[in-house]
């Protein structure tokens, strides 16, 4: 009897193993709710910008570029007609808005998780990017979760007729859900960082800081006010590259520890914010910051809520003490929900309202695109004609462009100190006893080259010539010149040549032994 009672108790007890606690512990999905609200709004920035080009990018009326065609899976995804593509892309806009509002949350998220990757796969030239792949996975995970149970129109409709204090909803057990969707997004984020670190570890140009320097000098992603300034400090770029690599490797291990979680997420937030200022990225950092909310637990949200209530009481007390207006806005704990006590609308009525809104929104988008008439089909002269290109222009475009010798070189700088294979002390004034380093940075790819560096005085008289081999895998080459008493004080030129052609020249001064340095220069790109 005792054995039977013990075995029945063991069956009735819930499993408490680490696997169960990790994936099936129940919490209110506040972190997923923040992702559900924020992620669709971020994606709408890109989707709305491409909506007016939907016919051109994703339909047979334009020039789609399906990703599967690159792997010889022809017609793997059907390419819709022009009007169908516009209607589908307009519906995607509606589903993203409905997902953010939490209106028929699961249906909206599931539709967005299907339409969003479908359209991105139809345009591998401009639409599909890293953040579209990450966002597609996150939308799918959100669609499989019960994220609509909190901070959504669905939850408000389900609670119609109930009277509750606003903060009492924090302890509502009916909104508890298993945390496995949250864990999947966490694992996705950790895998992204770890994979990025392994890729950077095998990329020598990233570890040397050269890749960051090139990225910061381009404006392909967007304008960045800080990037070009940081390229003047190659040692800082080298340090940033190494810190980024180490942080991405240790992220999965330190973010799981309660003591280091918030520090790790804070460093990550600063890191992604700096990519906006230095690399011109905008949507990708916001997608990653949205994924950070998956690490937000139920208990942490309740602590934040208690802190917000204390702040509200203090603000209300300040207003009351000084007899200021709007004090009632901050009065805590006295407002009771005044929702209607009538029964909620039937399921069929709510489904019909959602379907009708989708139809009206989609038809309005199709009609708007019809009146925009991107191809001029309804203009006075019919569709826009294709202009025939002249034969000279065709030959000019098809003719191979010769690569100039100067195109192989990025910069030529002078300095007095080299640290970590980087010239860190850019100068043009030198004293006897110092060593002048001439750094040549080259653009990849290039062949094996013999580089010559010539020292000439201000009148162009040749004083010295020395050369060095630049291997095809080299990014930079150094020439060193000791400044001794054989060079009198004055102005000189350092001339870089390749294949008998002068590429660049830099002017520098040799000072007297008792003369102070008067100038320092920033690195100069070609």
> Is residue 136 within 8 Å of 120, Cβ to Cβ?
yes
Closest to 418 (Cα-Cα) out of 446, 448, 440, 445: 440
- Give the span between the Cα atoms of 321 and 41, in whole angstroms: 40
Final residue before a domain boundary, out of 301, 319, 337: 301
Residue 346 belongs to some domain of the structure:
no
The pLDDT assigned to 330 comes to 45
Number of folded domains that form the chain: 2
Mean per-residue pLDDT, 451-470: 88
pLDDT at 388 over 90: no
Which residues is 437 bridged to in the sheet? Answer: 415, 480
- Most trustworthy range by pLDDT among 21-30, 342-351, 454-463: 454-463
Which residues is 509 bridged to in the sheet? Answer: 429, 491
Residue 225 belongs to some domain of the structure:
yes
Can you give the length of the chain in residues? 526
Closest to 36 (Cα-Cα) out of 133, 168, 119, 154: 154
Residue 525 belongs to some domain of the structure:
no
Q: pLDDT digits over 195-232, tens only?
A: 999 999 888 888 888 888 888 888 888 888 888 888 88
Final residue before a domain boundary, out of 241, 273, 301: 301
Residue 351 belongs to some domain of the structure:
no
Query: Which one is predicted more confidently, 24 or 517?
Result: 24
Long-range residue pairs from 53-57, CB within 8 A, at least 24 positions apart, any chain? 53/374, 54/85, 54/86, 54/89, 54/90, 54/119, 54/369, 55/82, 55/85, 55/86, 55/369, 55/374, 55/375, 56/374, 57/122, 57/123, 57/126, 57/127
Poorest-pLDDT segment among 5-19, 352-366, 453-467: 5-19
- Give the span between the Cα atoms of 297 and 299, in whole angstroms: 6
- Within this chain, do residues 48 and 196 fall inside the same structural domain, yes or no? yes
Mean per-residue pLDDT, 333-354: 63
Q: What is the pLDDT confidence band of residue 523, given thresholds at 50, 70 and 90?
A: low
- Give the span between the Cα atoms of 430 and 452, in whole angstroms: 22
> Is residue 229 within 8 Å of 171, Cβ to Cβ?
no
The pTM assigned to this predicted structure is: 0.80
The pLDDT assigned to 47 comes to 95
**Which of helix, strand or coil describes residue 473?**
coil
- Give the span between the Cα atoms of 317 and 66, in whole angstroms: 61
Q: Which domain holds residue 504?
A: 407-510
Q: Both tokens of residue 522?
A: 């920033």
Residues 6+ apart with CB under 8 A from 324: 318
- Most trustworthy range by pLDDT among 26-30, 43-47, 148-152, 445-449: 43-47
Query: Which one is predicted more confidently, 92 or 331?
Result: 92
pLDDT at 10 over 80: no
pLDDT at 317 over 50: yes
pLDDT at 335 over 80: no
Q: What is the pLDDT confidence band of residue 367, given thresholds at 50, 70 and 90?
A: very high
CATH number at residue 499: 2.60.40.1930
Residue 296 belongs to some domain of the structure:
yes
Degrees, nearest 5: CA angle 491-492-493: 140
Q: pLDDT digits over 249-290, tens only?
A: 999 999 988 889 999 999 999 999 999 999 989 999 999 999
Residue 57 belongs to some domain of the structure:
yes
pLDDT at 340 over 80: no
- Give the span between the Cα atoms of 154 and 89, in whole angstroms: 24
Mean per-residue pLDDT, 392-417: 86
**Count of CB atoms situated within 10 Å of the CB of 320:** 13
Mean per-residue pLDDT, 80-87: 93
- Within this chain, do residues 141 and 27 fall inside the same structural domain, yes or no? yes
The pLDDT assigned to 58 comes to 93
Mean per-residue pLDDT of the chain: 83
> Is residue 463 within 8 Å of 455, Cβ to Cβ?
yes
Closest to 47 (Cα-Cα) out of 83, 91, 84: 91
**Taking phi first (over 0 means left), then psi (-120 to 50 degrees means alpha), and beta for anything else, what does residue 386 get?**
beta
Q: pLDDT digits over 165-206, tens only?
A: 444 444 456 678 888 999 999 999 999 999 999 999 888 888
pLDDT at 331 over 80: no
- Most trustworthy range by pLDDT among 304-308, 354-358, 521-525: 354-358
The pLDDT assigned to 139 comes to 96
- Give the span between the Cα atoms of 274 and 241, in whole angstroms: 13
- Within this chain, do residues 424 and 291 fall inside the same structural domain, yes or no? no
Residue 520 belongs to some domain of the structure:
no
The pLDDT assigned to 446 comes to 86
Final residue before a domain boundary, out of 281, 301, 321: 301
Q: pLDDT digits over 87-142, tens only?
A: 999 999 999 999 999 999 999 999 999 999 999 999 998 899 999 999 999 999 99
Q: What is the pLDDT confidence band of residue 522, given thresholds at 50, 70 and 90?
A: low
> Is residue 137 within 8 Å of 79, Cβ to Cβ?
no
Residue 334 belongs to some domain of the structure:
no
- Give the span between the Cα atoms of 512 and 489, in whole angstroms: 6
Mean per-residue pLDDT, 455-476: 87
Our CA dihedral for 292, 293, 297, 299, rounded to 10 degrees, sits at 120
């Amino acid at each position: 009897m005792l054995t039977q009672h013990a075995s029945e108790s063991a069956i009735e007890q819930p499993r408490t193993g680490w696997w169960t606690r990790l994936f099936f512990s129940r919490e209110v999905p506040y972190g997923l709710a923040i992702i559900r609200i924020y992620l669709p709004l971020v994606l709408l920035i890109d989707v709305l910008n491409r909506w007016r080009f939907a016919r051109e990018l994703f339909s047979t009326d334009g020039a789609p570029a399906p990703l599967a065609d690159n792997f010889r899976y022809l017609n793997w995804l059907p390419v819709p007609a022009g009007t169908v593509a516009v209607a589908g892309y307009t519906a995607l806009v509606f589903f993203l808005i409905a997902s953010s509002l939490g209106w028929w949350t699961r249906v909206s998220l599931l539709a967005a998780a299907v339409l969003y990757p479908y359209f991105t796969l139809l345009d591998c030239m401009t639409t599909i990017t890293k953040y579209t792949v990450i966002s597609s996975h996150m939308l799918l995970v959100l669609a499989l979760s019960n994220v609509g149970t909190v901070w959504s129109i669905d939850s408000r409709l389900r609670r119609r007729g109930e009277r509750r204090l606003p903060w009492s909803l924090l302890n509502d057990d009916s909104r508890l859900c298993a945390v496995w969707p949250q864990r999947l997004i966490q694992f996705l984020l950790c895998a992204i960082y770890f994979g990025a670190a392994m890729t950077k570890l095998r990329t020598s140009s990233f570890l040397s800081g050269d890749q960051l320097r090139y990225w910061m000098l381009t404006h392909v992603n967007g304008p960045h006010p800080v990037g070009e300034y940081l390229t003047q400090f190659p040692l800082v770029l080298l340090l940033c590259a190494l810190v980024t690599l180490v942080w991405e490797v240790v992220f999965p291990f330190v973010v799981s520890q309660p003591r280091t979680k918030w520090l790790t997420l804070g460093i990550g937030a600063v890191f992604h914010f700096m990519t906006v200022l230095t690399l011109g990225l905008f949507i990708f950092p916001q997608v990653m910051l949205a994924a950070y909310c998956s690490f937000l637990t139920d208990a942490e949200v309740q602590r934040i809520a208690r802190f917000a209530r204390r702040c509200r009481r203090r603000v209300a007390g300040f207003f009351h003490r000084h007899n200021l207006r709007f004090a009632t806005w901050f009065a805590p704990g006295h407002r009771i929900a005044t929702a209607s006590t009538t029964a909620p609308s039937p399921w069929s009525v709510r489904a019909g309202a959602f379907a009708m809104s989708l139809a009206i929104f989609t038809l309005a988008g199709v009609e708007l695109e019809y009146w925009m008439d991107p191809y001029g089909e309804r203009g006075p002269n019919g569709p826009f004609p294709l202009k025939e290109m002249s034969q000279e222009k065709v030959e000019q475009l098809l003719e191979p462009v010769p690569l100039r010798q100067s195109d192989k070189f990025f910069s030529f700088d002078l300095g007095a100190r080299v640290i970590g294979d980087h010239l860190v002390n850019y100068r043009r004034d030198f004293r006897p006893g110092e060593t002048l380093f001439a750094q040549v940075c080259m653009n990849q790819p290039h062949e094996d080259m013999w580089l010559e560096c010539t020292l000439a005085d201000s009148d162009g008289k040749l004083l010295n010539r020395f050369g060095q081999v630049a291997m095809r895998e080299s990014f930079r080459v150094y020439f060193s010149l000791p400044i001794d008493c054989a060079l009198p004080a004055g102005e000189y030129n350092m001339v870089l040549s390749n294949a008998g052609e002068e590429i660049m020249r830099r002017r520098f001064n040799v000072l007297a032994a008792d003369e102070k340095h008067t100038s320092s220069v920033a690195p100069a790109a070609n």
